[in-house]
Structure 1
Amino acid sequence: MDITIEVVHGWRLLARVRELIVEPSVQRLILRNEQGDTLFVVEGTTLRSVTTTRPILAAVKAVADELPRVTLEVVRDEGLAHEVGVATMSEEFDRAIDVVEPVFERY
């Protein structure tokens, strides 16, 4: 389990949650206000359910409209990403370097 805590400005919150919805490794999103009070918790299976995505995004937009900053806690399970076949950031970087390095060697 990997837990990332981000302070996100209200105007950026909806876009950030949309980015996290498509990540298969995300298990849970926890939104907290500036005082640390939990606003709501969304489980990963609920995030990716077609019937609940729009209400979740509507709730996130309502929070984003009211609060200037929100603490977003993202709980990830990297093992799940490997099972699904999604590359992690380090694997993507390694692949990109394998492509870019030969180009620099020519010059």
Structure 2
Amino acid sequence: MDIIVTIPKTEYKNDEKEDKNILVNGHNAFWTLSRTPKSLNIGDRVYFVKNNRIDSSMRVIDIQENSSMLCETTNRIWSGRCQLLLDDLRSEETQYMKGFQGFRYMR
């Protein structure tokens, strides 16, 4: 089942850099969560809320638990209970959605 997450406002500039890096260089991305979504499977999508709109989505290609990963764009290490490896970045139709913490299942 697809999930929705919010990009924190403090990460907007980094998100734009990462999106460009993904599109130009074909890199994969990852997203860190504090808990593992039980109903999320390989092939499902993660939708990203930015500026109170669903801005983009990516496909889940792997789910790793209790791991750390280095962001090649920002050189920051992200650790968490759940790391989602993602590809297939897509722009989405803008649909209003207020930001929130954590994740929600897409209905």
TM-score by length of 2: 0.30
Higher strand share: 2
Higher helix share: 1
The structure that has the greater radius of gyration is: 1
TM-score by length of 1: 0.30
